[in-house]
A and B are shown apart, each in its own frame.
Chain A
């Protein structure tokens, strides 16, 4: 049976929180300076190669495979978390 909205939310929030913590640690940005709707290119100050590095880190952390074409146009942490959550 599919999970209802309330049951799904905590998992999605947890995923988002883990992404923010991982990105902050990896790119040495204070965690409190990152918000879910931030443009991660800007808030992390990363280029295309570092974006791939982040993608690899996220795949390894969540034990998922996330084709990079699914991330085309994705630039905020919340949408990224949604893409990851869909593969967990």
Chain B
């Protein structure tokens, strides 16, 4: 499928560049709907890879790239079932989203996340799957999961460990603090910081440049320098499910979902 328009995301192909746009209000939360549409995208990826050399993932919403997992959906669904069923439901969701993200991570395309605004939790993890992150100066990154009594569940820690030193990973994870694009570039996560509203344009220009290189060389180079940390990713799902079964998590989710505080994202 060369083109798709869904409720959470859409994609098309411009020349040999696939452009995947996120566009679900309020800030592209990743729930069951987005997951289904991502699965549709991934099932089209074999065919798309035949004629494309790059993939750009970006958001059409002003609020940001992606605020992460849909915690409201998670809370509502979990509350309506027995604890053991809720944990199984979460495990199933994680297995499915890991399959999607691992497939994008290992795509024989050069992948670029063009991010702005809120790039939190699962949104940050989606960006980390990509080979390059281009951020506009409004971008803000964060792993807030620890305040809910959880760890990131969409591959965040294994992929941070792949890219960064352990001390930086500990800082980002254990403090749960948010940080801006300049800091993200300083620590080596972001390859280019650009002006407000310029990330997609720069991502397109970067993709055009990458298209000049021999495709097979790019594929071999990517495989060599960007291994997929499968073992840690499996372990992450187990740890997440173990933590999710504790009452503290339900309480944390409840507090988050029911909060009318103007600063609910701030730990």
- The chain A residues found within 8 Å of chain B, CB to CB, are 41, 46-49, 51-53, 55-57, 59-60, 65, 67-69, 71-72, 75
Contacts and interface: CB of A to CB of B under 8 A. Distances in A.
Closest 8 CB pairs of A and B: A67-B177, A41-B262, A68-B266, A56-B180, A68-B178, A59-B180, A48-B265, A69-B267
Contacts of B178: 52, 55, 68
A54 B266 CA distance: 13
B178 to A, nearest CB: 5
Interface in B62-120: 63-64, 67, 117-118
Given A49-B63, A56-B180, A60-B137, A68 B267 contact: yes
B175 interface: yes
A86 to B, nearest CB: 16
Interface of B: 26-27, 63-64, 67, 117-118, 137-140, 142, 175-183, 261-267
8 contacts: A48-B264, A49-B63, A51-B262, A55-B140, A56-B181, A57-B138, A68-B177, A72-B266
B contact face: mostly helix, strand, loop, or mixed: loop
B266 A69 contact: yes
Given A41-B262, A56-B137, A60-B137, A49 B180 contact: no
A13 to B, nearest CB: 26
Given A53-B117, A55-B178, A65-B179, 17 more contacts: A46-B262, A48-B263, A48-B265, A48-B266, A49-B27, A49-B64, A49-B117, A49-B118, A52-B118, A52-B140, A56-B138, A59-B180, A68-B177, A68-B266, A69-B266, A69-B267, A72-B263
A67 B179 CA distance: 7
A60 B182 contact: yes
Nearest to A46: B262
A67 B182 contact: no
Contacts of A75: 262
